[in-house]
Amino acid sequence: MLTDLLVSRGYETHHAPHAAAALLAVESAPVDIALIDLQLPDMDGIELMLRLRERIPSVLCLIITGFGTIERAVEAMQAGAWDFIPKPVTSGMLLEKIGRIESYCQLRREHDVRRKVLYKEFFFSGVIGASPIMRPVYEDILRAAQSSLPVLIEGETGSGKEFIAEAIHLNSNRKSRPYVVMDCTATPHSLIESALFGSTKGAFTGAIDQKGLLQAADGGTLVLDEIGEIALDIQPKLLRCLETKRFRPVGSTKELSSDFRILCCTNRDLAAETKKGKFRADLFYRISAVRITVPPLRERPSDIPLLARHFLQAVSREHEREEMDFTTESLQLLCRQEWPGNIRQLKFTIETAFFQSRGRWITPEHLQLDGQPAARPAEVSEPLAAADLQKDYKTFRESAIVQAERRYVTALLERHHGDVRLAAKQAGLTREALYRVMSRCGVSPGQFREKN
């Protein structure tokens, strides 16, 4: 009946009498929408939904539920279903819900096209992260790149502010012009003025005719890293240069001009510094026309595996070593750290671990955290079976993980009599995450409800 209705409205459909047939069908014919009955002869409907989403992450699922199983339908929604339809299914209700999904699918396809065009046109060098907290940063980079306004990039030490500045330059209309960086913390206070504006011979003891960074950045971008370190007596000269694009080298009476764009980085709260009189308010407002705040690494733990693998691949290529990776335990250990030194500290830790390792894998014993080597993992007391030794390491590890997960999930569901909400709460997981683990282990919560 549903097939006839949908075909008559122009939809292409595939009918499967049970879960196994559905999983087989989508291998050759991926779908946008799946209508799934909760009661199936060979599998729980929620489990089928999760397995379909593993094969087709973009699929949207409508759960069909009978009278008295609304609670299970709500459970399905919490596990990731788009919506549910109670029986008897009316044509009006079904077509309305599918129409809404169809509109959403169209918008999603258009968004995907825009995203592909966006990332083809723009280049984010060194800026790595897929966590939601980084999305506004990417949007700010693109907006900043399309203007010539000064940008103030704020964030903790080692959080990657210099990579944000480089990304802005590489996506701007100045990308083919000079990109000049001055580290204000590495430049002595007495030499910052001459480094910026240049100097003439004899202007001070040891002075020579020297072109300043402002002149070197003509037509391009000048980055002042840790601008908060610039002394108060130099700040008025920098402010005037930003306003007029003209400056005078130390010891010279001749004014020079430079068409530069300025990007500033700081780990200080410059707004608070201005109130204390430690930074000029007029200069602060001039350099902060656009402000970008880079989140610390501890607020984006899901990005740690991405960054760790990026640094490991980079150092492996540099030293011409075979492709390397982290064990599950070492990645979990990295994700549990606070990383006060942020990305810079993570990079140093990964490079140190690389030289500690002699094989393909980075294990916990290779990671030096908080100044101390990580504790060695406890030895496994249970002897391995002969069949286990026939497997390669990767196969054995994956099998062992699934077995351990299955024991844990089984005990968890037995304790809570199949109540996924309570089990997920105790495990510290979302319901959707727990359902994924159950699907991977071949465990269904229904079998534990039947015992009571």
Is residue 287 predicted with pLDDT exceeding 90? yes
Fold of 132-295: Rossmann fold (3.40.50)
pLDDT of residue 263: 97
Distance from the first to the final alpha carbon of the chain:
37
Query: Where are the domains positioned within the chain?
Result: 2-117, 132-295, 299-373, 389-449
Is residue 372 predicted with pLDDT exceeding 50? no
CA dihedral (265, 269, 275, 277) in degrees, to 10, reads -50
Which structure tokens are listed for 128? 């790595």
Widest distance between CA atoms in the chain: 94
In angstroms, the CA 43 to CA 70 distance is 18
Of 164, 139, 122, the C-alpha closest to 342 is 164
User: Which residues are CB-neighbours of 303 under 8 A, at least 6 positions away?
Assistant: 128, 129, 130, 131, 134, 297
Of 436, 442, 383, 443, the C-alpha closest to 412 is 443
Handedness of CA 37, 41, 44, 46 (dihedral sign): negative
pLDDT of residue 448: 76
Helix (H, G, I), strand (E, B) or coil at 151: strand
Question: Model confidence over 56-73: pLDDT tens digits?
Answer: 888 888 988 875 566 777
**pLDDT, average across residues 172-197:** 89
Please, which contacts does 391-400 make with residues 24 or more away whose CB atoms are closer than 8 Å? 397/327, 397/328
Burial 417-438 (b: 16+ CB within 10 A, else e): ebebeebbeeeebebeebbbbb
Level-2 CATH architecture, domain 299-373: Orthogonal Bundle (1.10)
H-helix segments, 43-90: 45-55, 70-78
DSSP 8-state symbol, 5: H
In angstroms, the CA 198 to CA 249 distance is 5
pLDDT of residue 403: 78
Cα dist. 13→97, 137, 274 in Å?
16, 41, 65
The pTM of the whole model exceeds 0.75: no
Which structure tokens are listed for 89? 């299914």
Beta bridge partners of 86: 65
In angstroms, the CA 85 to CA 94 distance is 8
Which structure tokens are listed for 152? 């103030």
In angstroms, the CA 40 to CA 233 distance is 77
Peptide bond into 88 cis (omega under 30): yes
CA dihedral (222, 228, 233, 235) in degrees, to 10, reads 40
Are 16 and 25 within 8 A, CB to CB? yes
In angstroms, the CA 202 to CA 299 distance is 51
pLDDT of residue 153: 96
In angstroms, the CA 80 to CA 61 distance is 8
User: Which residues are CB-neighbours of 188 under 8 A, at least 6 positions away?
Assistant: none
Q: How many CA atoms lie within 13 A of 169 on its CB side?
A: 26
Cα dist. 97→8, 90, 106, 233 in Å?
16, 11, 14, 67
Strands 151-154 and 83-86, sheet pairing = unpaired
Identical fold between 2-117 and 132-295: yes
Burial of 83 (0-12, 13-18, 19+ CB in 10 A): middle
In CATH terms, the superfamily for domain 2-117 is Response regulator (3.40.50.2300)
Residue with tokens 């009946």: 1
Question: Model confidence over 250-274: pLDDT tens digits?
Answer: 888 889 999 999 999 999 999 999 9
Radius of gyration of the chain from its Cα atoms, rounded to whole angstroms: 30
In angstroms, the CA 72 to CA 268 distance is 52
Helix (H, G, I), strand (E, B) or coil at 103: helix
pLDDT band at 322 (very low <50, low <70, confident <90, very high): confident
Stretch among 115-124, 205-214, 316-325, 423-432 having the lowest mean pLDDT: 115-124
In angstroms, the CA 117 to CA 126 distance is 20
pLDDT band at 373 (very low <50, low <70, confident <90, very high): very low
Question: Model confidence over 132-166: pLDDT tens digits?
Answer: 888 888 888 888 988 889 999 999 998 999 999 99
AA letter at 57: P
pLDDT of residue 451: 42
Is residue 331 predicted with pLDDT exceeding 60? yes
Strands 361-362 and 325-326, sheet pairing = parallel
